[in-house]
Structure 1
Amino acid sequence: MRNCPIREWICHSWNPFSGIVYIRCMQKCYLLSLCCIISISGMAQPQGQSSLYHFPLKGRILMHALPERDVEIQTLEDFNAPFRRIDAIKPRVAAEPVSKTGLEKKASAPDPSVLAGFVAQGPNGTPLDNNLAISKAGLLVSAVNTTFRVTDSAGTFLFSRSLAAIANELGNLTRTFDPHVYYDFERDRFILVFLNGSDHTNTNVIVGFSETNDPRGAWNFYAIPGNTSSNDWWSDYPFIGISDNALYISVLLWMDGESGWETDAIDENIWQIDLEKGYSGDSLRVKQFHGLNVGGKQLWNTRPLSGAVEKYGPGFYLIGNRPKDIMNDTLFLIHIAGTWDTASTDLTIKVVKSDKPYGLQPNVTQKGGRRLRTNYCDIQNGYYFNGNIYFCANSIDVSSGRPGVYVGRISDVAGNNPVARGQVFGVDSLDLNYPSIAYSGAGWPDESAIVMCLHNSQNSYPGTSAFSLGRDWTFSNLVRLKEGEGAMNVLFSDSLERWGDYTGIQRDYGKTGRVWIAGSFGKANGTSQTWIAAVGNSDPQLGLETIPALPYTLYPNPGKLVYIQFELARDTEVEVILIDANGRSLFTQKQTLIAGKQKLRLNTGEVPGIYFLLIRDDKGREMIREKVVVSH
């Protein structure tokens, strides 16, 4: 392949560069040229077989019989010098801005309904690192630094153990942290992943698979080395997802004594793990990818993307961005085709430019004056649905200067030219950070989603909120699920508290439109605690049958005044909705039309811009959706 220029937009300026990609598969390095789509083959070279590992079962643990340790190692990620480097380049919110509207209204989508809410476990350190999974039978697993807890869907306590107890049973007791749990809805099983050890001599990725649908029962546990190189590296900050036959774990690699912030990660491992072997307790087949490099710059902080309503595969997607840039519009779409038992496994990277940039958000101030760390402008999670990818990320909201929630959608991901569109949900009186997104619709073409996040301001303590994205991808109000009761004050020697690293969310596979979330809130004693909530899609159209698209003609487009013509087979009360490019509903009008040919004129006041026209029938079903460009 010949070298081609790739454009990456940083700080509102274009920077063309010739791209070279280095991808190492188990210490084997392949050099290829980059031209919009980067491709490697983990098995294409003679030495490619070395990319496959087999890890034996580390231990079978019966959770309810596991003794709890008398002493636990507390996770306290204190402030240190490397943090100051990234904080120095972050923007600041100098003072509490005056709310422009006094409202937290964004657009026309229905607000999420609050169906349940209860307190779960508190911390054994900071940050909490909330995560959760819930089965179709209603068994809910909540994981934080550093405990694993099971309740029913009403919050009734059933079981709890520390991660240290699990690690001790496996013979790997050092520091346990960064838990993630996942519910495999097709196999009706749970997966638990956490890290153990924080230097090259003791770093491991602990992976557990439940043998049944009861997380209190037997689990098969494996230890994947956190350092497979000859360097002094350790693993940190994992994220997980599953395809129809594999578990994917992305995990950062730091040098001993480092934890990011001062420099980019040394590397990132992407582990591809045989699901069936894990559930059965057999020797685990694992493939490793690492050394992702685009334009001479390391690619790290990637996120695995599971299916929204069903698993997909054997190919699998991950997504990444530039998580420390002041402003950037570049996304990286990673696809892994094939598995450990195919003749070749290809990893490709597509460089995708979004129409909306993301950027590094400021640290923020709590009520009372103590500050909260907001980390990177990294992608937090996402999912794959009907050929599209949906995701959310930390970002600055440039309209207020506060942290906001970046929500993105990439269409035609399998094509040569995927299209990425994004928007930032921000509230001018609140700081919003650490979002998670889950699908809340009833099947294609409904693209509804619910996003949860943590909130804070100088007038209210840290808590948990949620908002909806409607089927037309417009925002709802922000709904505050749990208000804080006090300021976080754990790191007494420093005024900059660890607010979090990530939150948890999962679609309820037994209830259409319902989503479960795991967030946190500040307590009066200076600590934080987990808040679990169930929220629902309150769209009255949820689950309604769709109708075939109505043939229509729209002209001129672009134009000053725009006309749309269509024909109705019967008298119908229609609802006409006009939405601007920021997702705000400009007007809604209902009118009964007599059967026959119709001609509607759209007058936006001749204000130039991009608008979206929706027309629905008397049952709320979408008949027409069209982008309209108004020009002089």
Structure 2
Amino acid sequence: MKFHQLMPSLLYFACLCFSLPAQSILHETKPPVSQKELQYRAAEKSPPLTAYSTGPVFPMQRPTITAKDLAEFATRSCEGDEEENPVVEYLKEQAAQGLLPDFADAVGVDMLPAGKENGPQDAISATLPSLYSSFNATAIGSGNPPDNAMAISNTGYIVTAVNSSIAIYNSSGTSLGSWTLYSFMNGAGAGVVNDFFDPTVLYDSGSNRFFLVCVVGRTPADSRLALGFSSSSNPTNSWNFYYLPGNILNNNCWFDFPRIGYSTSEVYIAGNLFNTTNSFNQAVIFQIPKAAGYAGNSLNYQYWYGISGAPFTLCPVSFGGTGSYGPGAYFVAHPSGTGTMTKFYNLTDNMSASNEQLLYYPITVTSYAIGPNAAQKNTTEKLDVGDSRIQNAVYMSNCVHYVYCAKANGTQNGIHYDRLNVTNNTIVNKRIYSTGGEAFTYPAVAWVGGTSTDKSVLISFQFSKSTVFPGVGALNVDNANNVSSWLTCATGTGFVNQNNTGNQTVSRWGDYTALCRRAGSNPLRVWGGASFGNTSNQYTCKIFQIGINGLLPDDPPVEERGNGDNTQPMVTASVYPNPVADGQVNIAFDNLENREMEIRLLSPLGVPLRTLYSGQVQPSLENLSLDVSDLQPGSYFVQILNGKKTVSCEKIFVVSR
């Protein structure tokens, strides 16, 4: 849920399920604490507290979402009655009139805005990402604002949520169930109000579990944090739910805008407290040992408050690869409107250490400020671009990668991406991406390096302009900080006019999106969730799969081989009969000669079931016969690999016999 505040002074590990060929699971130890800013050791810590599970809850036994629920969520605002931040709104108006300085002009060569129409031409040199599959998550409807949350497991289960609903999909886009957040998290059993919003979810690849959080209530009396821990890697199995107080300081405040992360031993929830006049009070952090939550046992936790630097919207930093880091965790924060500082925090150890500290490192950065609200095609209705808070952050090998949106080239918002070295607390690279036309907002980042020291990332975002409907895009920033052109992941089909906040000229458009590296995918794939404008002038959530190199069995794009004399012809395969009910299914191949090939049968989630052929392909191999008598009804894939690269993939449908 978005909020507007008056700014101060101005204003346990689980066994992994069988998966695709796995990447190594890393458990990285944080580097030694820097001595650079130890005078900023200042935060209060609560005594240890305990919460208890409401009992194992089985989603498949909960009441599912109805058309009436979806209609209500599309028209109900999940915003509350917070005061407008006059500083942020003033900056947007000034930017729209071209009265603010272009902050991108002040940065160095490595920090120039990169786009086809501006910046150094060699900036557009990284590989353009590819879109491998996507589907519309219609089961969760069109929340207002959407607040897109999504995570994917190593076996391809997807948990996605918006205000105020949640759904589980497989990677083929089949809905396995959808619920209101109130129903899914057994709000009735917990005795809390039916006012669930601001969902956020992650996949803890170190523990092979999902972690879900949302806010309940928007008054001090009603305010709760709803926590969900999956009991296995399959989110259709049982979950353990806990409810923590939102008015934790008993100072007549309520909790808003949760941001979550995880480390080797713990999960973290950061958020903001607002008082009864809906003015910002302070940011707080919950520190929670996670093993008990995954097991459904009593949950010990503590929280941090009175944090130095008066941070606003702290962003926990999760591990970027497959595994985790620790002990403790990192956090980053920005002020909402304009600033010259990134606030970096190091929670030095686990709760069990008893001598853990929260250290603060203020880092001077290039000035930034929020740009104007975004235009749309065929309407004067604007889209709210939010503010300059840090949206998303990941950690890998002494580097925190974080993203936010702020004014860039011309008068529009661009994507700002920073690399923060945690050993000396400095920004070592920065990249601003802007075309000068589109407004880019609500970015998310995923690490995609080939080695732990490779700093390559993918960044997704939402975009719009006066000649384009709201859509979803992505780009690649490689290890050398070169940026690619941007890829369209979802094309808008209509403008958005979904406001009921009293402001009839601006619609909500955020307040965040999601990007998740799929653990164990080979080659590496990243999945995201964001919203585009539809023909009903509302939002549709798009779940999309992107990558940089290679193909994934689920939905490989067509690959053009070129016209050179030495180019090998493209492998093709045909399956007959298809669908198949019993007996044998035949697979005929073309252009397999003179290649080392592996031919595999994959499950609907892409898990290898058996190898049909492996070795040097003989000219006599033109077809294979596959016995499907032992397969359950459903879809399967026949994957053809040349080395580690998928060169063909054919779907088989098995029906009831």
Identify whether the pair has TM-score above 0.5, normalized to the shorter chain.
yes
How far, CA to CA, are the matches of 2:115 and 2:58 in structure 1?
Answer: 56
1:195 paired to 2:212: no
SS in 2 for 1:466: strand
Aligned match of 1:110: 127
User: 337, 343, 354: which is aligned to 1:324?
Assistant: 337
The amino acid of 1:76's aligned partner reads: S
* Cα contact 2:444–2:461 (8 A) shared by 1: yes
Which residue in the other structure is 2:470 paired with? 462
Quote how far apart the aligned CAs of 1:396 are: 0.8
* Contact 2:115 2:435 (C-alpha < 8 Å) held by counterparts: no
**TM-score (normalizing by structure 1):** 0.73
Pairing 1:303-382 to 2, within 5 Å after superposition: 303-309=315-321, 310-325=323-338, 328-354=339-365, 356-367=366-377, 368-382=379-393
Q: Distance in 2 between matches of 1:418 and 1:93?
A: 32
**Cα distance change of structure 1 residues 436 and 208 upon mapping to structure 2, 3 Å threshold:** same
| Residue of structure 2 aligned with 1:93, choices 93, 96, 115 | 96
Which residue in 1 is equivalent to 2:58? 62
Alpha carbon RMSD of aligned pairs, Å? 2.6
CA distance in 1, matches of 2:407, 2:124: 20
Percent sequence identity over aligned pairs: 25
Match runs of 1:21-40 below 5 Å: 36-40=37-41
1:402–1:430 contact (8 Å) kept in structure 2: yes
CA distance in structure 1 between the partners assigned to 2:118 and 2:527 by the alignment: 26
TM-superposed deviation, 1:275: 0.4
Corresponding position of 1:147: 165
Deviation at 1:315, TM superposition (A): 2.4
C-alpha spacing 1:299/1:41, structure 2 compared with 1 (3 Å): closer
Q: CA deviation at 1:78?
A: 6.1
Shift of 1:346: 0.8
2:431–2:481 Cα contact (<8 Å) kept = no
Letter of the 1:349 counterpart? Y
- The verdict on how the C-alpha distance between 1:489 and 1:78 changes in structure 2, with shifts beyond 3 A counting, is farther
Deviations 1:549-579 (CA, angstroms, capped at 9, x unpaired) = xxxxxxxxxxxxxxxxxxxxxxxxxxxxxxx
Preserved contact between residue 381 and residue 393 of structure 1 (Cα < 8 Å): yes
Structure 2, unaligned runs of 5 or more: 1-8, 11-34, 99-113, 552-657
Task: Please report how far the alpha carbon of residue 420 of structure 1 lies from its aligned counterpart in structure 2 after TM superposition.
Answer: 4.3
- Confirm or deny: 8 A CA contact 1:292 1:300 kept in the other structure: no
CA distance in 1, matches of 2:405, 2:116: 23
Q: In structure 2, do the counterparts of structure 1 residues 287 and 420 end up closer, same or farther at CA, with 3 Å as the change threshold?
A: farther
**Aligned pair partner of 1:483 in 464, 487, 491:** 491
- Displacement of 1:94: 4.8
Question: Counterpart in 2 of 1:392?
Answer: 403
| CA deviation vs aligned residue, 1:123-143 (integer Å, no higher than 9, x gap) | 453110001111111111111
**1: CA distance between counterparts of 2:517 and 2:54?**
31
CA distance in 1, matches of 2:142, 2:134: 22
- The code of the aligned residue for 1:535 comes to I
1:214 counterpart residue number: 234
Match of 2:154 in 1: 136
Higher relative contact order (CA 8 A, sep 6+): 2
Contact 2:143 2:539 in 1 (8 A): no
CA contact (8 A) 1:39 1:346 kept: no
Cα gap change, 1:210/1:78 in structure 2, threshold over 3 Å: closer, same or farther? closer
The one-letter code of the counterpart of 2:317 is L
**In structure 1, how many angstroms separate the alpha carbons of the residues matched to 2:264 and 2:213?**
18
Deviations 1:280-322 (A, max 9, x none): 111111010012232xxx2121100011113111121111122
Kept in 2, the 8 Å contact 1:42–1:344? The answer is no
Change (3 A) 1:101 1:445: closer
Q: How many Å separate the matches in 2 of 1:287 and 1:80?
A: 29
Question: What's the CA shift for 1:158?
Answer: 1.1
CA contact (8 A) 2:445 2:457 kept: yes
Contact 2:43 2:305 in 1 (8 A): no
Secondary structure at 2:353's aligned position in 1? coil
My pick for the range that moved more, 74-83 or 233-242, is 74-83
More strand as a share of residues: 1
CA deviations on 1:239-292 (whole Å, 9 max, x unpaired) are 10000000011011111252xxxx5x2111100001011011111110100122
Q: TM-score w.r.t. structure 2 length? A: 0.70
The verdict on how the C-alpha distance between 1:248 and 1:38 changes in structure 2, with shifts beyond 3 A counting, is farther
Task: Tell me the CA shift for residue 41 of structure 1.
Answer: 7.1
Which of 171, 175, 179 is matched with 2:199 structurally? 179
Contact (CA 8 Å) 2:345, 2:360: kept in 1 or not?
Answer: yes
Q: What are the Cα deviations for residues 40-60 of structure 1, in whole angstroms up to 9, with x where unaligned?
A: 4779xxxx7x52111122332
Q: Which residue of 2 aligns with 1:432?
A: 440
Residue 458 to residue 94, structure 1, CA distance change in 2 (3 Å): farther
**Residue from 279, 289, 297 that aligns with 1:274:** 289
Distance in 1 separating the partners of 2:344 and 2:79: 33
1:280–1:102 Cα change, 3 Å? same
1:84 and 1:319 mapped to 2: Cα distance?
21
* Number of residue pairs matched by the alignment: 487
| Pairwise CA distance, 1:68 | 3.5
Q: Please state how far the C-alpha of 1:382 moved relative to its aligned partner.
A: 0.9
Structure 2 CA distance for aligned equivalents of residues 130 and 251 of structure 1: 17
Aligned to 1:82: 83
1:402 to 400, 412, 421: 412
Residues 506/78 of structure 1: CA separation in 2 closer, same or farther (3 Å cut): closer
> Distance in 2 between the 1:88 and 1:351 partners?
26
Residue 302 (str. 1) matches residue 317 (str. 2): no
Task: Return the alpha-carbon distance in structure 2 between the equivalents of residues 232 and 128 of structure 1.
Answer: 28
Look up the equivalent residue of 1:501 and give its one-letter code.
D
Whether the 8 Å CA contact 1:358–1:406 is kept in 2: the answer is no
2:271 maps to 1:251: yes
Give 3-state SS (helix, strand or coil) of 1:370's partner.
strand
Change in CA separation of 1:329 and 1:84 when aligned onto 2, cut-off 3 Å? closer
Structure 1 contact 320–379 (Cα < 8 Å) conserved: yes
Inter-partner Cα distance in structure 2 for 1:52 and 1:526: 48
Task: Quote how far apart the aligned CAs of 1:216 are.
Answer: 1.1
| Whole-angstrom CA distance in 1 between matches of 2:308 and 2:211 | 30
Task: Indicate if the aligned counterparts of 1:124 and 1:146 stay in contact, CA closer than 8 A.
Answer: no
Paired letter, 1:162: T
- Name the counterpart of 2:509: 499
Are the equivalent residues in 1 in contact too, given 2:149–2:162 (CA < 8 A)? yes
1:100 and 1:344 map into 2 onto residues whose CA distance is 48
Q: CA deviation at 1:79?
A: 9.1
CA distance in 1, matches of 2:115, 2:127: 22
Give the distance between the partners of 2:116 and 2:328, measured in 1 at CA.
Answer: 46
Is 1:449 the equivalent of 2:457?
yes
Using the TM superposition, give the Cα deviation of residue 92 of structure 1 relative to its aligned residue in structure 2, in angstroms: 3.5
Counterpart CA distance in 2 for 1:422 and 1:237 is 26
- Aligned counterparts of 2:430 and 2:38: Cα–Cα separation in 1: 21
